[in-house]
């Protein structure tokens, strides 16, 4: 099969193609930039509840903080810290849709 396009159609096709590639690639590029440029911070329990989960600590314990795979770092014998990026990724990976 041999398809030939005139200059105007060729230009129109490649502009469309470039726009589609940009739409597909831009979100991934921004995500990668954010991962590499943002310094990760360790949050305290109340910060995870206030800043990210927007719930009280009891609800966070019941539904999130003790869930299998929820990210944390031991901080002393009785304390934990939560890496902000890992928590946000866990939420993204565990979000359910109907």
pLDDT digits (tens, 9 = 90+) for 34-89: 777 767 899 999 999 999 999 999 999 999 999 999 999 999 888 999 999 899 99
User: What is d(CA 91, CA 85) in angstroms, rounded to the nearest whole number?
Assistant: 10
Looking at residue 40, its pLDDT comes to 82
User: What is d(CA 21, CA 25) in angstroms, rounded to the nearest whole number?
Assistant: 6
pTM of the model: 0.60
Structure tokens at 96: 């359910």
SS3 state of residue 92: helix
């Amino acid at each position: 099969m041999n398809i030939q396009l005139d200059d105007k159609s060729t230009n129109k096709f490649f502009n469309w193609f470039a726009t589609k590639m940009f739409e597909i690639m831009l979100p991934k590029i921004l995500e990668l930039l954010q991962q590499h440029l943002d310094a990760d911070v360790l949050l305290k329990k109340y910060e995870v509840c206030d800043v990210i989960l927007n719930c009280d600590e009891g609800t966070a314990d019941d539904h999130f903080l003790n869930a299998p795979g929820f990210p944390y770092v031991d901080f002393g014998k009785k304390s934990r810290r939560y890496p902000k990026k890992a928590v946000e990724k866990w939420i993204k990976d565990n979000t359910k849709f109907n």
